[in-house]
A = this chain, B = another copy of it.
Amino acid sequence: MGKDEIDLTEKQILRRGEILDSATKLFLNESYGRTTMDNVLTLVGGSKRTLYKYFPNKEALFTAIIEQVSDRVLSAFTPLPREGTFREALIDMGARYLQVMTSAECISLYRAMVAEAPHFPDLADNFLQNGPCRASQHLAEYLRSHAKNNRLRITDPDLCAAQFMGAVRGNVHFHAVFNGRVPTKKETRMISETAVETLLNGWRK
């Protein structure tokens, strides 16, 4: 478990954080395989001794990086207090979802996770659960509690939520991943609006 990392000076925590942040840039811009420990070192400065003190090997460093970035990026998928009409809430959720999913940091994270999923299955599963799945679960919960009031015929909220998120993604996420073409904030909103228009109408009784 937590070997002996219990006692870390304030300074050491900072140093560890510096290393982690610098290494993050490398591991997310290049791939795991193309990033070398020496490469990390020349960017962060310092000696191998300290690097290997805080992160016993390359895999541990990568794991720490992914966990930190996942926490930071995917925290955007926490539910916000909803205001406005039902339709506006859906539009917001869709736009926010797409905005996060196509952000540069999330695309880099996604790339790393897809590439390394077979070798870091726990990290991949965490990304899936705390990322896309959690986002659509929140939407499902929202649908569950608002379906009746809005006279919607939703038998399977989870499936409907996933389909909505998928409709919002469309091919936009693919373009971001393969082409680096990310939508502007206005575009994401427009995309979400059209998706809501169609699906909301489709769910009507």
Residue A188 CB within 8 A of the other chain: no
Shortest Cβ distance from A20 into chain B, in angstroms? 22
Inter-subunit contact B34/A174 (CB<8 Å):
no
Indicate whether A125 reaches chain B with its CB closer than 8 angstroms.
yes
Q: Which of A6-14, A43-51, A57-65, A156-164 contacts B (4 or more CB under 8 A)?
A: A156-164
| A128 contacts chain B at the CB level, 8 A cutoff | yes
Residue of B nearest to A169 (CB): B166
Are B31 and A136 in touch, CB under 8 angstroms? no
Given contacts A114-B111, A117-B111, contact A166 B170 (CB under 8 A): yes
A70-78, A85-93, A191-199 - the one binding chain B? A191-199
Is A127 an interface residue, CB under 8 A from the partner?
A: yes
Copies of the chain in the assembly: 2
Taking CB atoms, residues of chain B closer than 8 Å to A200 are 202
A132 interface residue (CB < 8 Å to B): yes
A166 to B111, CA, bound (A): 19
Number of interface residues of A (CB under 8 A): 47
Pick the contact of A170: B32, B113, B162 (CB < 8 A).
Answer: B162
Chief secondary structure at chain A's binding surface: helix
Q: How far is the CA of A132 from the CA of B179 in the complex (A)?
A: 13
A170 to B136, CA, bound (A): 10
Does any Cβ of B come within 8 Å of A104's Cβ? no
A136 to B162, CA, bound (A): 19
In the complex, per-residue mask of A3-32: 1 if CB is within 8 Å of any chain B CB, else 0: 000000000000000000000000000011
Distance in angstroms from A114 CB to nearest chain B CB is 4
* Complex A-B: 19 CB contacts under 8 Å: A32-B33, A113-B178, A114-B178, A117-B178, A124-B178, A128-B179, A132-B171, A133-B171, A133-B174, A136-B171, A159-B194, A162-B170, A162-B171, A163-B168, A166-B170, A198-B202, A199-B202, A201-B202, A202-B203
Given contacts A31-B115, A33-B34, 19 further A-B contacts (CB under 8 A): A32-B33, A114-B177, A114-B178, A117-B178, A124-B178, A125-B178, A128-B175, A128-B178, A128-B179, A156-B194, A162-B172, A163-B198, A197-B202, A198-B202, A198-B203, A199-B199, A200-B202, A201-B203, A202-B202
